[in-house]
Structure 1
């Protein structure tokens, strides 16, 4: 596995692009409200950041819950030891993060430092929320992160707004004991095998409330972005319906995958009530041994260690592909950003000093080793040990994982691809017609966005999904 990590380091140095993650990203939370940790007593004044001995008060907002105890420890250490009299206060928002940030900026109450993800960075830059950090990047920082500064991910119009830390791999999560009980020796490698296995599991376990498959269909986009996205990328297609070769949306491959999901629903192989199931209730059911398999991110091992401790025998494996052949690479998502600075903050220099501390080698290395995310910074990858967490071995970066170029984000008129295909999965219809309608509406939205200068599209006819980017 160490060889695979070293290989990733080399691939990342040559990376051409990174794709965005769905809104769930690395956020495992589902509860409402915010958790806060107040800053301890100010450290002894020092440096030139504080005026007249008064501490500079910084606010940091994040929507991550899975790492909050570690982040609290880091902030407390920073508050107690920094020589610039800077005090940081952490606020953890578990839901509606982007909306909360919008409201905070409109009322001039925005935090000084923000947690950024691929799903929100572009919008925050467009709205003028973020300050570029290029002027703070010295030779060492540029050498450490330079290969990962990617257009339309953390660099926009030539300016850098954030630096990477970790990424998320996506895998099929399966209960090994349930598979054995159903007479299944290995996880499925094709979608037809997945359909067949889900049916076998349901037939063998339905009397005990065990079903073959589930997803958090309460939010179809989150459900599909943690499953179909992965299936498509391994099958050789961009996972969000965008064709990188033509620079246009094409949902026909997506329609092929949804046919198999529809079949599992028709077979009764999907956990009853999944239409209204959120991710944490799904995890609780899986931890209780009631679900044979589902697809999700590399946050799952940490979830089953801390949030839903379980004794079941489970593992992660590469997702199945359309025909059982791997023609692409498994997309490492949400890998381009971590922290950003408020463009309107009165304490941007202090905010950068906090960011500089958070991006230190020891912190990034420990963040990976504790299993909060999988390191993507080459220098960290080379020296980090694998997380000692049950199940994590199935999510570690290997030969079939890589970074993908970012797809343009557009908002079409009418139903989104997730809503349209989810409706088809439940109620039927004409899949080909649905795909063509989505193509028409998404490409119309793309054309408008390009004309307004909101996105840039550069077709890449030579794009090869079978190789890690840049190789």
Structure 2
């Protein structure tokens, strides 16, 4: 299916479905290790006083993305050398524990002026008073450019806009074609049982050389499942973060079905040893070295293997397997509503907006798409942008099996989150139904309390049909 036709005719229509609730999961997650740029200091970040005309304004910009950092550095260097407003932007990449780092920075009055936002943290940051509304800055041209893309509960809260969209991420199975061929596997698995079987065959073939069939970044189980189970469930017709859109309640029953197959791969010895301490970048390094048969992740991976971990292996992306080999739903496009936000306590908000204007310019957004860092959801960009030329990106492009899903309530239960609870079951076993019942009880209790406080809005949709999310 033509990529631009899918975006132009189907994706924007699906965006309208994503307004039923607040919060939502993210895709990329904050799982990467901190990068090389130095953190901001108190001298770099001012949170009191007003901007003074003619003075040099140093802005700090924090992000939790690694895949696009070289391009972002180029953009910042160009902005710093060409803007006429004496503005200089300094980039800091803090991927691991990003949200906690932001909290600490605000608590110590050393927060950045500009923040990378995702659907999983925008609402949280807004409620904590971290983010400045952008409405007073938005020109008629920008309002027209993003018309139909601003979503309640994603980038707009209580009628105010806190971020603007750029691109979305697709989720795919990433697999080593060379290892598949050597292990006698004809192609990517269609069902979870196929995936279990393929992982075992690859491990049997290559174990003596340190090659294993499957891996995930289980150092952070929730992040690992958000880039794997989420995709499998959405294609199987279930919301991928454990929320039942029909009832407006959490139900981890479908989730547990996927976990059983993951546990089987663990018992088969098909998962890379030490995966419980594996972060995403070390996993990528192992995959680039030809030691992992397959894993699941975002459309950031082609950029990673082009710039961060160049590799000579033949690899590709494919739709994830489903519970029974049938695609009942769609692959969820994630992190599609937000990109950059401004610190509400910054003394340089006007300068920060000038940088944001630069970052949201057509040529920047077009290049971001064409370089393969994200798939544009802005119609005016998608219509004219060329398909990314990044090797491997062809397997991640938006097609007829991709769409946005309604967002999930963003709540925090007491006790272990579902990622930790299910990963413990994979490692130690136990009563899976008891794990599900406990998760359902704790998550729905937290949901009920959040609704009572007015922090979350839930609208059950008994008629929800995942097949209707498909782009036309």
TM-score range, shorter chain: over 0.9
Over residues 45-67 of structure 1, what are the superposed CA-to-partner deviations in whole Å (9 max), with x where a residue is unaligned?
A: xxxx9745323333222222322
Would you say the 8 A contact 1:35–1:93 is kept in 2?
Answer: no
Give the secondary structure class of the aligned counterpart of 1:383.
Answer: coil
Give the secondary structure class of the aligned counterpart of 1:393.
Answer: helix
Would you say the 8 A contact 1:215–1:223 is kept in 2?
Answer: yes
Match runs of 1:34-433 below 5 Å = 34-35=37-38, 51-433=52-434
Would you say the 8 A contact 1:371–1:387 is kept in 2?
Answer: yes
User: Which residue does the alignment assign to 1:42?
Assistant: none
Separation in structure 1 between the aligned mates of residue 387 and residue 35 of structure 2, nearest angstrom: 32
Separation in structure 1 between the aligned mates of residue 58 and residue 309 of structure 2, nearest angstrom: 36
Q: Go from structure 1 to structure 2 and tell me whether the alpha carbon gap of 1:92 and 1:31 turns closer, same or farther (over 3 Å shift).
A: closer
Would you say the 8 A contact 1:5–1:398 is kept in 2?
Answer: no
Over residues 42-91 of structure 1, what are the superposed CA-to-partner deviations in whole Å (9 max), with x where a residue is unaligned?
A: xxxxxxx9745323333222222322222222223223333333332323
Q: 1:196, CA displacement in angstroms?
A: 1.3
Separation in structure 2 between the aligned mates of residue 5 and residue 383 of structure 1, nearest angstrom: 8
Separation in structure 2 between the aligned mates of residue 268 and residue 465 of structure 1, nearest angstrom: 34
Separation in structure 1 between the aligned mates of residue 212 and residue 6 of structure 2, nearest angstrom: 38
Q: 1:470, CA displacement in angstroms?
A: 8.9
User: Which residue does the alignment assign to 2:10?
Assistant: 11
Q: Go from structure 1 to structure 2 and tell me whether the alpha carbon gap of 1:222 and 1:211 turns closer, same or farther (over 3 Å shift).
A: same
Give the secondary structure class of the aligned counterpart of 1:60.
Answer: strand
User: Which residue does the alignment assign to 1:45?
Assistant: none
Q: 1:112, CA displacement in angstroms?
A: 2.0
Separation in structure 1 between the aligned mates of residue 217 and residue 468 of structure 2, nearest angstrom: 31
User: Which residue does the alignment assign to 2:47?
Assistant: none
Q: 1:354, CA displacement in angstroms?
A: 1.5
Give the secondary structure class of the aligned counterpart of 1:171.
Answer: strand
User: Which residue does the alignment assign to 1:41?
Assistant: none
Separation in structure 2 between the aligned mates of residue 339 and residue 205 of structure 1, nearest angstrom: 43
Over residues 215-261 of structure 1, what are the superposed CA-to-partner deviations in whole Å (9 max), with x where a residue is unaligned?
A: 11121111111100100000011100001111100000001111111
Q: What TM-score, normalized by structure 2, do the two folds share?
A: 0.92
User: Which residue does the alignment assign to 1:46?
Assistant: none
Separation in structure 2 between the aligned mates of residue 209 and residue 87 of structure 1, nearest angstrom: 47
Give the secondary structure class of the aligned counterpart of 1:172.
Answer: strand
Over residues 103-139 of structure 1, what are the superposed CA-to-partner deviations in whole Å (9 max), with x where a residue is unaligned?
A: 2222333222211111211110010111111222222
Q: 1:13, CA displacement in angstroms?
A: 2.2
- Segments of 5+ residues of structure 2 without an aligned counterpart are 42-49
Separation in structure 2 between the aligned mates of residue 72 and residue 269 of structure 1, nearest angstrom: 39
Over residues 312-356 of structure 1, what are the superposed CA-to-partner deviations in whole Å (9 max), with x where a residue is unaligned?
A: 111110000001110111011111111111112223222222211
Would you say the 8 A contact 2:299–2:374 is kept in 1?
Answer: yes
Q: Go from structure 1 to structure 2 and tell me whether the alpha carbon gap of 1:158 and 1:248 turns closer, same or farther (over 3 Å shift).
A: same
Q: 1:459, CA displacement in angstroms?
A: 1.1
Separation in structure 2 between the aligned mates of residue 376 and residue 413 of structure 1, nearest angstrom: 36
Query: Which region of structure 1 is more displaced relative to structure 2, 68-77 or 286-295?
Result: 68-77
Would you say the 8 A contact 2:40–2:110 is kept in 1?
Answer: no
Over residues 135-158 of structure 1, what are the superposed CA-to-partner deviations in whole Å (9 max), with x where a residue is unaligned?
A: 222222122112111111111112
Separation in structure 1 between the aligned mates of residue 144 and residue 464 of structure 2, nearest angstrom: 27
Query: Which region of structure 1 is more displaced relative to structure 2, 166-175 or 64-73?
Result: 64-73
Would you say the 8 A contact 1:50–1:84 is kept in 2?
Answer: no
Separation in structure 2 between the aligned mates of residue 402 and residue 162 of structure 1, nearest angstrom: 21
- Segments of 5+ residues of structure 1 without an aligned counterpart are 39-48
Give the secondary structure class of the aligned counterpart of 1:59.
Answer: strand
Give the secondary structure class of the aligned counterpart of 2:469.
Answer: coil
Over residues 265-299 of structure 1, what are the superposed CA-to-partner deviations in whole Å (9 max), with x where a residue is unaligned?
A: 11111122222222122112211212111111111
Q: What TM-score, normalized by structure 1, do the two folds share?
A: 0.92
Q: Go from structure 1 to structure 2 and tell me whether the alpha carbon gap of 1:353 and 1:31 turns closer, same or farther (over 3 Å shift).
A: closer
Give the secondary structure class of the aligned counterpart of 1:294.
Answer: strand
Query: Which region of structure 1 is more displaced relative to structure 2, 6-15 or 232-241?
Result: 6-15
Query: Which region of structure 1 is more displaced relative to structure 2, 345-354 or 111-120?
Result: 345-354
Give the secondary structure class of the aligned counterpart of 2:58.
Answer: strand
Would you say the 8 A contact 1:189–1:320 is kept in 2?
Answer: yes
Would you say the 8 A contact 2:200–2:213 is kept in 1?
Answer: yes
How many residues in Structure 1 have an aligned counterpart in Structure 2?
459
Give the secondary structure class of the aligned counterpart of 2:466.
Answer: coil
Give the secondary structure class of the aligned counterpart of 1:148.
Answer: coil
Give the secondary structure class of the aligned counterpart of 1:17.
Answer: coil
Separation in structure 1 between the aligned mates of residue 27 and residue 297 of structure 2, nearest angstrom: 13
Give the secondary structure class of the aligned counterpart of 2:146.
Answer: helix
User: Which residue does the alignment assign to 1:453?
Assistant: 454
Root-mean-square deviation (CA, aligned residues, Å) is: 2.2
User: Which residue does the alignment assign to 2:45?
Assistant: none
Q: Go from structure 1 to structure 2 and tell me whether the alpha carbon gap of 1:234 and 1:61 turns closer, same or farther (over 3 Å shift).
A: same
